[in-house]
A = this chain, B = another copy of it.
Amino acid sequence: MDSLPLGSDHTDGQKPSEYCAVVGYKGGGEALDSLLTSLKTLQHRGQESAGIAVFKSGSVQVHKGMGLVSEVFNPKYSDFSFLDGSRVGIGHTRYSTAGRKTVENAGPFVVSSSVGYIAISHNGEITNAEQLKESMKRRGATFQTTSDTEVMLMEISRDVNEFGIVNGIKQAMNRLKGAYSATLLINDRLFAIRDPHGFRPLVIGRLPDGYLVASESCAIDVLGGELLRDVMPGEVVEIREDGLHTLFVQASKSISHCMFEYVYFARPDSIIDGREVFDTRIELGRRLAREHPVDADLVIPVPDSGRSQALGYSMESGIPYNEGLIKNRFSERTFIMPTQEQRRNAVKVKLNAIKSTVKDKRVVLVDDSIVRGNTMKHIVDILRRAGAREIHVRIGSPEIIAPCYFGVDMKTKDQFIAAGRTTEEIRKEIGADSLGYVSIEGLVDAIGFPAESLCLGCLTGKYPVTIPGERHAAQSELENF
């Protein structure tokens, strides 16, 4: 899969998706430098906005804006030198979703409160945000944005004000349902918190000059640091100069790591909850080869998203791996927001086949996932026109059939090509000669956690957390899927 956001037209006032990168730094070095480098490394987790908040001279200062990290933090266009000279801070990037984007929803959020400044960078989605919001409103509170993060920050602030920092965070976490991996700055103190299900990743590393908390371990690597460990599900850890101090661990009934991090979101060079993402994808390709073998001449990936799984398929099947599609490196993203017309045109210039590779060949085409199916249909067509004799599509994840409520921008059923369709119907739709998805069992095995420790909601429609209004928690069923 290569084309999130899914293009659903978010109407104004709708809650923005909270798929993001979060980072936090505390140490003896320049906080701004480490935060900037780590945010750039995690840019794949959000290109809509970027921001950094640091504690300095008695207050928390923030600079944020719309665009890539390198754009928001470009000294030619804005002066953010007031962030210099701090030893502790947090950073944030936000995922680019369709619809009207406003800087109001950009992170980190910062407020002043009775205990001083509180700032938060958040990745995830609070499933009971609306209830909490309504409840706070009834007590006179007001909200300036449509973001879950504001709800979270106000819950935490209120309780911290009433019960003190540690107990306050604890109380707030008792009420917050859903997915959250966040870094928290309370004046000069840095905290990392993760929901009891552990939906979204969050790791801690030791840098040459301090500590880094980050959504993914690749940020630690790039800074020349060493991955220490994941923040545990339900854990609140304070990062002090003398080390990590777990303040408490909220009891967790079940772990529910998001399987999509392994399949698509995380960078292949990251290690999440102890699993190497790249290895998991190779293994998904191997399982795919075992579950859906085919007699073919070569295996080619959809660049760049299907490359690891295609390698795994080739290793397992013995069918030679090759590159058969070229991706236009400049179609990735431009600073300037594209018009609708440019977006359509963009698909056209994005991919082209290498004729000499695929001509008259029986091709296994591997990608990581299919959401809406448009891109895959287009690719199959390109390969046909380039002379491929047979095209066997293999997908390194199961069929996506249900919305995500924990931070991925897949919200409505009718956007999924697999919802309500048989595999054969999908195959026809995309025009392939055969089509195979990795089974849920295969996915679970490849990731290596027991099924009950993964969130498979978008594959099964059964969620580890009660979704207010319509969805039922299905923990018991989930165990028997």
Chain A residues at the B interface, C-beta cutoff of 8 Å: 12-13, 36-37, 40-41, 43-44, 47, 59, 61, 68, 70-71, 74-77, 79, 82, 100, 103, 109-114, 118, 133-134, 137-144, 153-154, 157-159, 161-162, 218, 221-222, 224, 267-269, 271, 276, 278-279, 304, 307-308, 311, 315, 320-323, 326, 328-339, 342, 345, 348-349, 352-357, 385-386
Task: For the A-B complex with A12-B61, A70-B342, A142-B157 known, give 9 more contacts whose Cβ atoms are closer than 8 Å.
Answer: A13-B59, A37-B349, A40-B330, A40-B349, A74-B336, A75-B339, A112-B143, A269-B352, A276-B354
Tell me if A70 and B144 are in contact (CB < 8 A).
Answer: no
Contact between B307 and A311, CB atoms less than 8 A apart:
no
For the complex of A and B, the 6 pairs showing the least CB-CB separation, nearest first, are A335-B335, A111-B142, A140-B158, A114-B137, A43-B330, A269-B326
How many Å lie between the Cα of A100 and that of B267 in the bound state? 36
| Pair B335/A71 contact, Cβ less than 8 Å | yes
**Complex contacts, A357 vs chain B, CB 8 Å:** 278
Q: Are A334 and B43 in contact (CB under 8 A)?
A: no
Residues of B within 8 Å of A141, CB to CB, are 113, 141
Number of identical protomers: 4
Out of B139, B268, B329, name the residue touching A304 (CB < 8 Å).
B329
Rounded to whole Å, the gap between the CB of A375 and the closest CB of chain B is 15
- State the CA gap A44–B43 with chains docked (Å): 22
Candidates B100, B110, B335; contact of A144 at CB < 8 Å: B110
> Given B118, B140, B222, B356, which contacts A278 in the complex, CB threshold below 8 Å?
B356
Question: Closest chain B residue to A322 by CB distance?
Answer: B311
Q: Please list 24 pairs of residues, one from A and one from B, whose beta carbons are closer than 8 Å in the complex, sorted by A's number.
A: A36-B345, A40-B330, A43-B330, A44-B329, A70-B336, A71-B336, A74-B338, A75-B339, A76-B337, A76-B339, A111-B143, A113-B142, A114-B140, A118-B142, A141-B141, A144-B144, A222-B349, A267-B352, A268-B354, A278-B323, A279-B356, A321-B321, A329-B332, A335-B336
* Closest B residue to A156 using CB positions: B142
Contact A352 B221 (CB under 8 A): yes
Given contacts A114-B140, A137-B114, A338-B70, contact A269 B37 (CB under 8 A): no
